[in-house]
A and B are shown apart, each in its own frame.
Chain A
Amino acid sequence: MTETRAISLIVNGRPRGATVEMRTTLVDFLREQLRLTGTHVGCEQGACGACTVLVDGEPVRGCLLLAVQADGARVETVEGLAPDLEHLTPLQAEFVRHHGVQCGFCTGGILMSLTASLRDNPRPTEAEIRDTLAGHLCRCTGYQGMVDAVLALVAAGEPAR
């Protein structure tokens, strides 16, 4: 039984190589081996969305993909959005203004889904924003602050990415 495999992938624009156990999920690999802990694990069955990252530009559940399956892929995580705390992206800044974060555990995955969806559709309606968010569970906010953050971004006509 081959237990491990060497993989190489691009994570947040940076080439990374690692040896992973075959059964290790992408999110566990990102968190434990690359120490990118901004992506969280909430249910391990693809229902809560906390582990959502972008693989080749598309949002996927990090708990439902094996790390070996990301070999050769381009992966984006929440850590890749802003260079530091002082330079938030427009989306992140609107989350602050509209109180889109409370405990923040689910936030990384939510930002990645919204980021991907805004690339496809920079001018979403409220219903479309809620459709994107529907793949995520948050127990703190009631989602309204997040929805308002994206609506504000759209209204400001900021480059949505």
Chain B
Amino acid sequence: MKPPRFSYHDPATVEEALGLLAAHGDAARVLAGGQSLMPMLNFRLARPGHVIDVNRVAALATVSPGPDSGLRIGALVRQRTLERSPLIRERCPMIGQAMPFVGHPQIRTRGTLGGSLAHADPAAELPAVMVALDARLTLRSARGRRTVAAEDFFVAALTTALAPDELLTEVALPPWPARTGSSVHEVAIRLGDFALGGVAAALTLDAQGRVAGARVVCFGVGPRPLRAAAAERSLVGGAPSAAALAEAGRLAGAAVDPSDDIHASGAYRKRLAGVLTTRALAASLASAAAHAA
């Protein structure tokens, strides 16, 4: 099981990388952390003519404070950094909550944020987290630059809004609202595996302890991360009672329609979406209440 031949490029700048993408387009694959692309090369499931290795593009590997206490995270930032960075932990705790579910430490040392998002596995955690966080993704090409909301970026299983000549360069996260708690819950056969089902949730309370905002994104239960909009709506403006959280779970479960596969029935995944929504919301509430206190 050895990779097929390919032309290897390791540009040092974004512009160089974009030039290569413009030149080779469909025949090229971008190599970031390599934790998804390299197995596909080894199994010869991917046979790109050109591999564009962006690991030397230092400009893509930075984490910096965004405007209004948001965050800007370069696409090449390693998952290990997402896990350890004090700035990320302070400004966006949900990312850290997701990290223990992502592969293993030995995978996270190489795996990148951008790689995980561009790979768009429907059972992966980081795409769901980005949707839950209302992240905006910067896509660049030699033709120019555009930003896409995370929710619009994920099109289908392993399919994103990226054009063949585009590179995902940066993720911008809005500020973390006050009195907000979040949580990521998932069930996998083993911890570190892709999820049988999972939920990334956030809950913002107002000064009276009512729900001011809610985010529920289910993953592993459809072709892409799915926002449970009905569940979110059901919570906003009300008291975050146990009954309300259970109802949100019911709505989230009702909104997904997963199919059967070898690891789980669709019915199981649907139940899981509901159960994990309620659990993730309960944990989010506890954390929001702690922040509010």
Cβ of B177: which chain A residues have Cβ within 8 Å of it?
none
A23 and B4 form a contact (CB under 8 A): yes
Instruction: Please encode chain B, from 10 to 40, with 1 for each CB lying within 8 Å of some chain A CB and 0 for all others.
Output: 1000000000000000000001001100110
Cβ-defined contact, B8 with A66, below 8 A: yes
Interface size class of B (residues with CB under 8 A): 20 to 34
Q: Is there contact, CB below 8 Å, between B8 and A113?
A: no
The segment from B106-114, B117-125, B151-159, B274-282 that touches chain A is B106-114
Contact yes or no, A65 B6, CB < 8 A: no
A60: B residues at CB distance < 8 A? 106, 109-110
Using known A-B contacts A46-B35, A46-B39, A66-B8, determine if residue A59 contacts B106 with beta carbons closer than 8 Å: yes
Verify if A3 is at the interface (C-beta below 8 Å from B).
yes
Interface string of A1-33 (1 = CB under 8 A from B): 111010000000000000000110100100000
B262 within 8 A of A: no
B268 at the interface (CB under 8 A from A): no
Q: How far is the CA of A37 from the CA of B84 in the complex (A)?
A: 33
Q: Could you tell me if A22 and B6 are in contact, using CB atoms closer than 8 angstroms?
A: yes
Q: Indicate if B242 sits at the interface (CB-CB under 8 A).
A: no
Question: How far is A1 from B190 in the complex, measured between Cα atoms in Å?
Answer: 42
Residues of chain A whose beta carbon lies under 8 Å from any beta carbon of chain B: 1-3, 5, 22-23, 25, 28, 44-46, 49, 52, 58-61, 63-66, 68-69, 113, 117, 131-132, 134-135
* Top 4 A-B pairs, shortest CB-CB distance: A135-B104, A45-B39, A64-B38, A22-B8
